[in-house]
Chain A
Amino acid sequence: MQWFKDVVNFLSQPQYYILLSMAGLLGLVYTRVAWNKAGLLAGTLALTLFFSLSALDPNFHIIISKADNIPIIIMVYLVWLALWGALSQGVANDDRMAMGLPSDEAQEGGKKVWCWPDLVYIELLSMLLVGALLVVWSVVLKAPLEEPANPVLAPNPSKAPWYFLGLQEMLVYFDPWLAGVVFPSLIILGLMAVPYIDPNPLGNGYYTFRQRRFAVTWFLFGFVVLWCVLIFLGTFLRGPNWNFFGPYEVWDIHKLEALVNVNLSEYFWIRLLGQPLPSFWLVRELPGFVAVGAYFSVAGWVLSRTYLRPMHRQMSRLRFAILMLLFLAMMALPIKMVLRWLFNLKYLIAIPEYFFNI
């Protein structure tokens, strides 16, 4: 078993973990293998096997048996089930529509039911069931309350509430004002903007994947990989000092990681040109400004000519520009992660003089 644990521990390092999650999601979405009953069974079984067998490992057991972490396990199942529900329905509809049949939802479309008792009654029943479950939960798993916080004895690791663990992970790669202020605002604004950016009526009122490949894929990428998967990572794989630990590793408070990250300016001026850093910050950070500027302009232009060419044609310029801004901002996270892992890149632009870093 040790080799298996070693393999899992190895693959759980953030670079592999994130890349594997991305590849896994895209693979599942595009190959369609999982979106049938067998897939549901296999996926659920795989998750259950993973958790129950891993629970035999003492270190993993400590983590998953914490009362705070039970909701995360439930979340994993719920995300999987919701994902399966949506995509299996979408795939089924795609197949029906390929055969010239209307979608499931369209077929049922004419049907109307009573508000009472059909809707309100089952809402009441759901409330009762969920209420009972919550009562039992609160009795069986005590709230993980501790003594009043003591600033001289901060808990280690200090973790954000579970739903913010994705944000906390972003803080590893970005300056706090970006990861803590700009990106969260962009997420909210972006989600609010989606209906206005995307006037495409396809998929309204029914599930489909084929008709909305871009929208479904990149929404899932943002939600599953950049949010849920990061929550999982923050819960199970980040230990003391926010160091990274494989699921079967001891959370050793003394673990050290070499902090050898450098800024882009250093790469450019010192390593490439072999000269000291310019003393004026604007000159010093010029490569960074160029890189960031290029990312948002050139990458958008390239995408509009290639992958998003059809969309670019259909959309107004402003719409497309906003879409690109949001899309590229989202992609900045995985890109920054890759840069960090491959090149130990700390910041693209680092202006400590004005507390500004990207």
Chain B
Amino acid sequence: MARSQTLHEYNIPRLNGWFAALSVLMVVCVIGMVVDDYNRDWKRYQRDYYRLERERLQKAEAQELEKIGPQQLDAARQAVTQAQAELQGHQDRLAAAQARLHQTSGDWYVRDQSSRFLKAAYDVVKYEFGAAQERHDADAAMKLRSKIEGMEDELSRRRLASEAAAARRDSVSAQLADITRQHDDAAAKLDELTKSVRTMEKRLLKIAPTFSNRLLNFAMLDFIAPSIRIQQVLPPNLTYTVNFGVTARIDRCQTCHLAIDKAGWEDAPQPFRTHPKLDLFVGSNSKHSLADFGCTECHGGRPNGLDFNRTAHTPNDEEEAARWRKQYGWKPMHYWEWPMFAAHNYESGCLKCHQGTRHIGGAPQYDRGRDLVERSGCYGCHKIAGYEGLPKIGPSLLQVARKLTPAFAYRWINDPKLVRAHSKMPRVFNLENVVGEYRGDADYWSKRSAAEVNGIVAYLFDKSARGAYAMPAGQRGNAARGKELFESIGCRACHMIGPEQDAKQDWAVTPRERGPNLEAVATKTSPEWIFNWIRDPRQYDSKTAMPNLRLTEQEALDVTAYLTTLRGSDDTPYRRSAPDSAMVEAVIMDYLTNTQPVAVAREQLTKLAAHQRAVLLGEKIIARQGCFGCHEIAGFEKTLPIGTELTEEGSKPVARLAFNNVRLEPSLEAWLTHKMLHPRNFDEGMHMLPGEKARMPEFGFSEPQAQAIVGNILAWSKNTVPLDRTKRVDSRGELIAKGERLIAFRNCRGCHVIEGEGGAIYDVIPEPAMRPPNLANEGAKVQPDWLVEFLHGPFPIRPWVQVRMPTFGFTPEEAGTAANYFMALAKKNDDPYPLPALQSFPHAKDGAQFFAIYKCQQCHPAKVTAASAADRSQLAPNLAMASKRLRPDWVVAWLTDPQTQMPGTNMPTFFYADGEYFFPEAPQHIEALRDYLMTFSSQVASSSSQRGSAKGK
């Protein structure tokens, strides 16, 4: 030892010390590693959840026990103990019976087994026989056959013996049951009483922090059968694409959101809250069950993430973001392209599957956004799938010179909101990125804008059709009468004057905004134009949505007189400032030199006179700003829209967005919202040539409006949902979707309630009897042929109502679309018509009697007199047109129970209520009435005379 010590380089005992210390360090580090790996947030959530569940269970158990009642429970338990005591008294009999049972059971077991074993041997011999037959070994087969037959006999003997033994055992068992009957009954009663409690206790035991549960959940042992484990759902065929590879969607959200599919946790703290719409989502019987749809396909987020940040939660607002930062250390997860939708954008997930339907009923925010997109005409500049082929939202400018003065047009284009604060036309010029100085010229942008706007006006008027409008000479309109007409005949369904809109609707679209706000209309155009326009809008704009209200010449004069009084508050005369000629030249050169050499451009320019230069400049500016996206403009019929395609905008990665100098949360939603509110703001602080600047106009959206639109844009994304999970539009759905477009374009909801929505004009017509009708169930009510005819040439059905059904000038196809729409809504689109079973109406004669008995004509007069019109709230349509107008099956349904057909109708209930007829002959009465109405031809003359007069109007 001594020798080796001298040769050691190191002090070995000290090295031993080091060894001990380092070993301890290593062990501590490894334990630390295991603990660090084991401690996950989701495990804490599950422990919390099980604790909450235990508390709930214990409470429920206590309540259950209280419900049973301690006395009753005690009594049941006592009964058991008593029975047990009694049983003690018969101990000898009991023991003897048990011994006998033991013996007979054993006997049966042996016999049964010998029978089954013989059967097994028998099967083997049977196989051997088959094999011998196959190899044509007749001798062996013969032997085996006799063996089989012997075995069969033996088998039936053993079976008999076994059955006899079973019978002996059963009889002994019955004797035993007799002895213990009282006790067994008492025990069963106690069992029944405590059944629910025992279920709870079983569950409690499963989730209680018992030693075995703790052991199974312990670090390094939790691979066996832990109760704290990752919960995941794998909806079939739902995938997402990473790196061009298709990856299955495995949603692990339930690992923390443990009660998402369990009712009863509605008020629990997050993450344990129940889904707020369990009947529609997540629930196993709902349309969007968890097993079929998972979570992230609709909500977004990272499906297999297991902690708060790595699942890409998105806060609803800044306040929530601040709370999350504090609580969870939240930060946006920029490695994941599809963050969760914020709570206010949940509906953006719907469109993925619900394409092809215009409205998704359960998604009001999305639907409002869609209305806004349509109403603002976003599709004019941006291609968006699903919005193709919609009409341009602005008026045609092909005849603009007949309507406006150049001075007015100049002022309007310069800033439409200055002329008419509530105009839908967005501001294009003088926005934040095109004002002030440029390259040292303080007035550069004011001069440039003036030149550009002037150019647009010059171009539009240069290309416009000409010809002055005239009014009937010598006749004058009465403004007061005109106002009355304006307010009563239905103009207000589509037009407002000034800020009429309700504050509560500040973000919603009301049908009353469909037409232009008529504020200051008198300063815009001439009385002559207005007169001719309201008499026949199509002579000015063949594609206009404005219908013809069949105004007489005098009515038109009156309304014109009234509209001429709407002058607005801005009295400054419109003046078109002469553009700076050097600026005009410079801007034109800007554009020309983009595509041709400077010398050629200069030569082209010098050949042009001042007016031609303005027209050329206008053409360039219209092309740049894309005015033709909303307006029909000569020379731009085939020009492609200027905006970026938005069909998959919702899938755009954040990295592709130019935030420039604007500090925002790095998310698509934040960027889009900012763009909606301040479309030119991203140019702030950038040095850009004029042609590089942003050109999206400013619509003046409010924040809720911007959010609703952004909710839509986020929904326009790459669709990866398999077909079996998407909403498929059937032929009926297609008819409805097509009709919805027409209904929206023609603004039917301005007057009518359709599918529970609309009737905007009701706001300004207080008297219910004077309002246009609710079209609920219209398709079930009227005959399609009649509806088409009516749409082509409307006539008054309720003559006392002053609002006029307009003449839209439908093409046959459009009228068919509308009729099909109502039929489809009522699920009558596939019905044959006329209904074959109801071709004849045999009971018409009886019906005539009942018609008189039930005094139908009291409310359904053939002719509305002044006296009857006074009490118009009781009036109903003339029944003379019923045979042409109403469907016989609807008449039956209507007479039977008017309130289910049209809730709130004045029609009395004569025959039926609460599932019962008032008298047994009621169905016959109804049928007779129907037959009478359907053959009601004697008075048809009066109907057609009414129609004739309507046409005369």
Contacts and interface: CB of A to CB of B under 8 A. Distances in A.
Nearest to B37: A139
A117 interface: yes
A70 interface: no
Closest 6 A/B residue pairs (Cβ):
A128-B22, A135-B29, A113-B9, A147-B335, A132-B29, A118-B9
A132 B25 contact: yes
Interface in B19-50: 19, 22-23, 25-26, 29-30, 32-33, 36
Contacts of A125: 15, 18-19, 22
Contact of B26 (A121, A122, A131, A148): A131
A135 B33 contact: yes
27 contacts: A112-B7, A114-B4, A114-B7, A114-B8, A117-B8, A117-B15, A118-B8, A118-B9, A121-B12, A121-B19, A125-B18, A125-B19, A125-B22, A128-B19, A128-B22, A128-B23, A128-B25, A129-B25, A131-B29, A132-B26, A135-B32, A136-B32, A148-B243, A150-B242, A153-B337, A153-B653, A153-B655
A252 to B, nearest CB: 11
Contact of A118 (B10, B32, B242): B10
A113 B8 contact: yes
Interface string B674-706: 000000000000000000000000000000000
Contacts of B302: 147
B22 A132 contact: yes
A148 B242 contact: yes
B29 A136 contact: yes
Contacts of B26: 128, 131-132, 135
B552 to A, nearest CB: 65
A138 B655 contact: no
Contacts of B18: 125
A150 B337 contact: yes
A353 interface: no
B336 interface: yes
B919 interface: no
B307 to A, nearest CB: 12
Interface residues of A, number: 25
B571 to A, nearest CB: 49
Given A117-B12, A146-B335, A153-B337, 6 more contacts: A114-B7, A117-B15, A121-B12, A128-B26, A135-B33, A148-B242
A132 to B, nearest CB: 4
A253 to B, nearest CB: 9
Contacts of A199: none
Interface in A188-210: none
A222 B29 CA distance: 39
B390 to A, nearest CB: 31
Contacts of A131: 26, 29
A153 B335 CA distance: 10
Contacts of A146: 335
Contacts of A67: none
Contacts of B854: none
Contacts of A121: 10, 12, 15, 19
Contacts of B655: 153
Interface in A76-129: 112-114, 117-118, 121-122, 124-125, 128-129
A149 interface: yes
B630 to A, nearest CB: 34
B359 to A, nearest CB: 34
A352 interface: no
A151 interface: yes
Interface in A122-181: 122, 124-125, 128-129, 131-132, 135-136, 138-139, 146-153
Contacts of B8: 113-114, 117-118
B211 interface: no
Contacts of A138: 33
A258 B38 CA distance: 52
Interface in B284-317: 302
A117 B8 CA distance: 8
A122 B15 contact: yes
Contacts of A135: 26, 29-30, 32-33
Contacts of B15: 117, 121-122, 125
Contacts of A139: 32-33, 36
A254 to B, nearest CB: 9
A169 B335 CA distance: 27
A147 B9 CA distance: 51
Question: Main SS of the interface on chain B?
Answer: helix
A151 B244 contact: yes
Q: How large is the interface on B (under 10, 10 to 19, 20 to 34, 35 or more residues)?
A: 20 to 34
Interface in A224-281: none
A132 B8 CA distance: 27
A132 B655 CA distance: 40
Interface string B245-266: 1000000000000000000000
B7 A129 contact: no
Contacts of B9: 113, 118
A147 B653 CA distance: 14
Given A136-B29, A138-B33, A153-B653, A147 B12 contact: no
A149 B9 CA distance: 52
Nearest to B244: A151
Contacts of A136: 29, 32
Contacts of B30: 135
Nearest to B655: A153
A117 B9 CA distance: 9
A122 B10 contact: yes
Contacts of A129: 22, 25
B16 to A, nearest CB: 9
A118 B7 CA distance: 9
Nearest to A124: B19
B5 to A, nearest CB: 11
Nearest to B22: A128
A117 B302 CA distance: 54
A155 to B, nearest CB: 9
Nearest to A128: B22
Nearest to A148: B242
A147 B4 contact: no
A36 B8 CA distance: 29
Interface string A312-323: 000000000000
Interface string B128-167: 0000000000000000000000000000000000000000
Interface string B228-254: 000000000000001111000000000
A208 to B, nearest CB: 24
A277 to B, nearest CB: 26
Contact of A150 (B4, B33, B243): B243
Interface string B831-848: 000000000000000000
A124 B7 CA distance: 20
Contacts of A128: 19, 22-23, 25-26
A149 B245 CA distance: 11
A147 B29 contact: no
A114 B4 CA distance: 9
Contacts of B29: 131-132, 135-136
Interface centre among B9, B245, B653 (most CB of A within 10 A): B9
A144 B4 CA distance: 50
Nearest to B245: A148
Contacts of B33: 135, 138-139
Contacts of A148: 242-243, 245
B850 to A, nearest CB: 75
B336 A147 contact: yes
Nearest to A131: B26
A149 B241 CA distance: 11
A153 to B, nearest CB: 6
Nearest to A151: B243
Contacts of A117: 8, 10, 12, 15
A153 B7 CA distance: 63
B877 to A, nearest CB: 63
Nearest to A154: B655
Interface centre among B29, B32, B245, B302 (most CB of A within 10 A): B29
